[in-house]
Structure 1
Amino acid sequence: MTTTTTAPTVPEAPARTHHPLRAEALRGFPPLAGAAVLLLLGALLPPSADTWQGDWAKTAAQLHNALVIAVPFAAAAGCWQGGREGRRRTEELWDTAVRAPLTRLLVSALPVALWVAVGYLLTVALTTLTTWPYVRGDHPHPSLVPGDTIALMAAVLMGHVVGRAAPTSLAAPLLGVAGYAGLGTAVHQDAVSPLNPAVPAMDGFWPVWWQPLAMAAWTLGLAFALILAYAARRRATALLPLATALAAALLLSTGSGPWRPDPLAHRQVCDTSTTPAVCVNARYSGMLPQVRAALSGVTGKLHGVHGLPARWSNRGTEPRADEAALPMLTPFGWYVVRGRLTQPDQYAWEAVAALSGRGDCENQPALVQLADEAVQAYLAPSPFQGHFDSLDAKGDAAARAHLRESLAARAKLAGMDEQRRRTWLSAYFAARADCDAEGVPSL
């Protein structure tokens, strides 16, 4: 008699279950929302790239200023996700779920908020990479990024609550339009603007260390107060994040304010090997060799001349008594594009025009005008001088007469020997900033 034995059955391992938050985050609308933010900002920033590539401060400001579009879009994305069950007509089914309403809301809203933040941070990273090769000074300014990212996430959460409360397909676009109008209006309200995450960044100013924390507490506090008031079992718990938001608002609105001057914006970097010395703003110190090269023809011709200002300055304000205003390097997109000086001849001509110090003089005597034109034509002629001369040649009798006198003065100065021209230029610059003819040598 034979006996058979059967192997014991091994119980099957229970199927691995994943958290519902993972399924929400990896499928459906949330990844699309993050991609949409990346595409939206990718469409807004490149057209103005000439004005910010190569300037860390301008790059950071452009990313921050894009919030006036990105925040309403994030709110609309959250609203669309919040109205999902209403569009599917599955609200009653969800009401029978075991999970609490607050849990269900956060599981649906947080993936969109996280993906929107990812889309914005990818934009920041890509923008940083595109501006890095062209930078000519300064350093990155990431201080605005944390507060801006939190503001976008808070907008998604608040929009989600609106979508739950008004489950209609029109709620999302209407909320986006209303948010854009509201942010734009609040920028011009002094009492509200410190709390507005989309208020434009001020040139030459950066937030103090606590500003991103306070802005995050303000935006997230309002968002969670709204969420708890809508979905929590004990709605009184909404008072805690609301109190946090109000405390942050008080901090943002009092004291010396959340902004501090950029120390580099008020410093000059100079090359003193020439006369006048060439000074540029410390934020663009890497542009100094290009500026010096553009002015090398001018400084070479001024060797040995007396009465010159001590330096060309790039302060953005009225030059001091011993200075002449250097043409501004900013805004980028005019003289400087992607770290390069694009019009050195025009730049040198404007720098020479500032040496006389008579830019604000009106109704100058003919002698002074002829001297100024001769000096500018000798040191750094305008690239458009031929065009202007042809216009005068076709003009009325007065214009033609002035052209003849101007050409004669230019030729006389250019034809002088070195010593005589140096003496004449010294007398000319000794009378700089005088609007009358006294002291200005004739030609």
Structure 2
Amino acid sequence: MTTPAAPKRTTPEKTTPEQSAPERPLPERTAPGRPLPRAFPSTALRTELRRGIAPWTGPAVALTLLVPLWSKAAQWQGSWGGTQTELHAAATLLAGPLVAAAACWQGGREHRRGTVELLLSVPRGRFARVVTAMTPVALWAAAGYLVALAAVFAATAPYTGAGGPSLAIAVTDLGFLLSVAPVGFVVGRLVRWRLAAPVLAAILYVALGAPGYLEADARFLSPAEQFSLEGSVPVWWFAPVLLAWTGGVGVAVLLAYATRRRLLAVVPLVLAVAAGTLIARTGEDLLRDDPATTHRVCSRTGPGTPQICLAASDSRLLPRVSEALEGMFSRLEGVPGAPVRYVAPQYEPKEGEAPLAHVVRGRGITRDRLTDPREYAANTALGLTLRDCPDDGDRRNAEEADRMARTDDAVRSWLADEESPWYPESRRLARLEAMPDADRRAWLGHYLATRKSCVPAEVPAL
């Protein structure tokens, strides 16, 4: 009987750790000095957006704009032109130096930390490093400006009449803030001084504001030139040309510092010079009249009631003006030669028209209301009785001039239904009030027929 053969034992082959480990792809090799083909810059940018001075720049810009604007809300709230005039001044004169100072502080960060030599070993080019470090300040500054822009527009929209905000002004202000960031950053890299940021802000504030005191058209080269946007809008090429001017300077500074081929900075510099030449030659013609806000809008009235005409941008004031002048209109009802239309001061009164009182926002108008309706009526009555006479003492003596002035004052006080501020005990005012209605209307008709005359003998006695 035979027994089965025992199975052969096999010993496992010895394997090295390199053979047992799974195959891994070899790391990509790049030439020295070239960036890795990964999304490393975007990762670094996200990190930079959350640290350092950059996140504080956005709230700082928003507060720098909103605090002074809120303190002067009565001067701009209710007018698109007034709103953007004030916002443009704050964005360029206040926020611009602030952004430059923040970018300057960001640019000097490596010098303060002593990491300049360490960054040279990072496998990224100089231009990528500069853009990654500078961009967060510019983006946060833009975000702060947009927040302030939305806030002031929301505050003024419920009280405005015709017209609307100017996109060109908003774009150029935003472009200026983005353009000043690389300039401040490069100064921070080149100037190793901790006080460079505040000093740069002070210098930039003076440089932006000083050209406004000049009379030459070259003052419009300053991004902080104060435009009067009440009833005016920029020309159609305003935004691209001003962006080429400010943006060209900013890009040229950035390329001259951060790229190896510094001659590339010549291209944006030439573009900036061409745009600046066009701006300086155009001057005040950068703005034109806005027909949407300057045409007259008149109230609808019944027979015998005078019409009130205001600029379209102030059309929401028509009911308030009508209420303020209601007493004056009732006193002139049935008077021969009484004005049939009252027009805003910017319009030349024609035959049968009279000027309204001159008021501005913040002084007489707040949002869509008259701050003092009685004073408005008194000033309108003063415009109806005011004579544009030369000072010719040879043609009339002092007594005749005083009599005419007292008569004008009595009529003005009676129309405004108030005592005379110049002649408190005016006997002429008492005589006018004591007249029968028919006689008073006849006398007032004779008076209004001579309200443009400078000859005292032609003015009826009272």
Task: Please state which band the TM-score falls in when normalised by the shorter chain.
Answer: 0.7 to 0.9
Determine helix, strand or coil for the equivalent of 2:127.
helix
Determine helix, strand or coil for the equivalent of 2:144.
helix
Residue 409 of structure 1: aligned partner: 428
1:91 aligns with 2:120: no
* Alignment deviations for residues 351-388 of structure 1 (CA, whole Å, 9 cap, x no partner): 01111241556566233223222212221134xx3776
* Alignment equivalent of 2:455, drawn from 421, 436, 442: 436
* Alignment equivalent of 1:301, drawn from 306, 331, 340: 331
Per mean C-alpha deviation after superposition, the further-off stretch among 146-155 and 336-345 is 336-345
Structure 2, unaligned runs of 5 or more: 1-19, 25-37, 392-397
* Alignment equivalent of 1:196, drawn from 214, 219, 222: 222
Equivalences for residues 165-184 of structure 1 within 5 A: 165-184=190-209
Residue 54 of structure 1: aligned partner: 78
Deviation at 1:232, TM superposition (A): 0.4
1:339 aligns with 2:371: no
Determine helix, strand or coil for the equivalent of 1:269.
strand
Residue 269 of structure 2: aligned partner: 242
Q: Is residue 84–residue 167 contact of structure 1 (8 Å, CA) maintained in 2?
A: no
**Which AA in structure 2 matches 1:250?**
T
* Alignment deviations for residues 113-161 of structure 1 (CA, whole Å, 9 cap, x no partner): 0110110111010111111222244323333000100101111111101
Residue 67 of structure 2: aligned partner: 43
Larger radius of gyration: 2
* Alignment equivalent of 2:187, drawn from 152, 162, 165: 162
**Which AA in structure 2 matches 1:339?**
D
Taking structure 2 as the reference length, the TM-score comes to 0.84
Equivalences for residues 34-433 of structure 1 within 5 A: 34-66=58-90, 67-189=92-214, 190-202=216-228, 203-255=230-282, 257-264=285-292, 266-271=294-299, 273=301, 275-316=305-346, 319-320=349-350, 322-330=352-360, 332-358=361-387, 365-382=401-418, 385=419, 403=425, 406=426, 408-433=427-452
Report the RMSD for the aligned CA atoms in angstroms: 2.6
Deviation at 1:41, TM superposition (A): 1.3
Q: Is residue 138–residue 284 contact of structure 1 (8 Å, CA) maintained in 2?
A: no
Q: Is residue 266–residue 315 contact of structure 1 (8 Å, CA) maintained in 2?
A: no
Deviation at 1:26, TM superposition (A): 2.4
Determine helix, strand or coil for the equivalent of 1:365.
helix
Q: Distance in 1 between matches of 2:70 and 2:242?
A: 28
Taking structure 1 as the reference length, the TM-score comes to 0.87
Per mean C-alpha deviation after superposition, the further-off stretch among 32-41 and 187-196 is 187-196
Q: Is residue 255–residue 264 contact of structure 2 (8 Å, CA) maintained in 1?
A: yes
Q: Distance in 2 between matches of 1:240 and 1:276?
A: 62
Q: Distance in 2 between matches of 1:409 and 1:311?
A: 27
Q: Is residue 81–residue 232 contact of structure 2 (8 Å, CA) maintained in 1?
A: no
Determine helix, strand or coil for the equivalent of 2:354.
strand
**Which AA in structure 2 matches 1:221?**
G
> Per the alignment, do residues 252 and 11 of structure 1 end up closer, same or farther by CA in structure 2, a change over 3 Å counting?
farther
Q: Distance in 1 between matches of 2:431 and 2:93?
A: 59
> Per the alignment, do residues 101 and 416 of structure 1 end up closer, same or farther by CA in structure 2, a change over 3 Å counting?
same
Counting aligned pairs with the same residue, the percent is 37
* Alignment deviations for residues 49-68 of structure 1 (CA, whole Å, 9 cap, x no partner): 11111111100110001111
Deviation at 1:204, TM superposition (A): 3.2
Deviation at 1:433, TM superposition (A): 1.5
Tell me the matched-pair count.
Answer: 418
Structure 1, unaligned runs of 5 or more: 1-7, 393-402
Determine helix, strand or coil for the equivalent of 2:456.
coil
Q: Distance in 2 between matches of 1:250 and 1:387?
A: 55
Q: Is residue 385–residue 411 contact of structure 2 (8 Å, CA) maintained in 1?
A: no
Deviation at 1:230, TM superposition (A): 0.9
Q: Distance in 1 between matches of 2:441 and 2:354?
A: 20
Q: Distance in 1 between matches of 2:333 and 2:102?
A: 65
* Alignment deviations for residues 182-240 of structure 1 (CA, whole Å, 9 cap, x no partner): 11112234253222111001243221121111111111111111111111011111111
Q: Distance in 1 between matches of 2:356 and 2:225?
A: 31
> Per the alignment, do residues 373 and 272 of structure 1 end up closer, same or farther by CA in structure 2, a change over 3 Å counting?
farther
Per mean C-alpha deviation after superposition, the further-off stretch among 237-246 and 133-142 is 133-142
Determine helix, strand or coil for the equivalent of 2:342.
strand
Q: Is residue 109–residue 156 contact of structure 1 (8 Å, CA) maintained in 2?
A: yes
> Per the alignment, do residues 365 and 78 of structure 1 end up closer, same or farther by CA in structure 2, a change over 3 Å counting?
same
Q: Is residue 159–residue 368 contact of structure 2 (8 Å, CA) maintained in 1?
A: yes
Per mean C-alpha deviation after superposition, the further-off stretch among 167-176 and 313-322 is 313-322
Q: Is residue 82–residue 167 contact of structure 1 (8 Å, CA) maintained in 2?
A: no
Per mean C-alpha deviation after superposition, the further-off stretch among 365-374 and 299-308 is 365-374
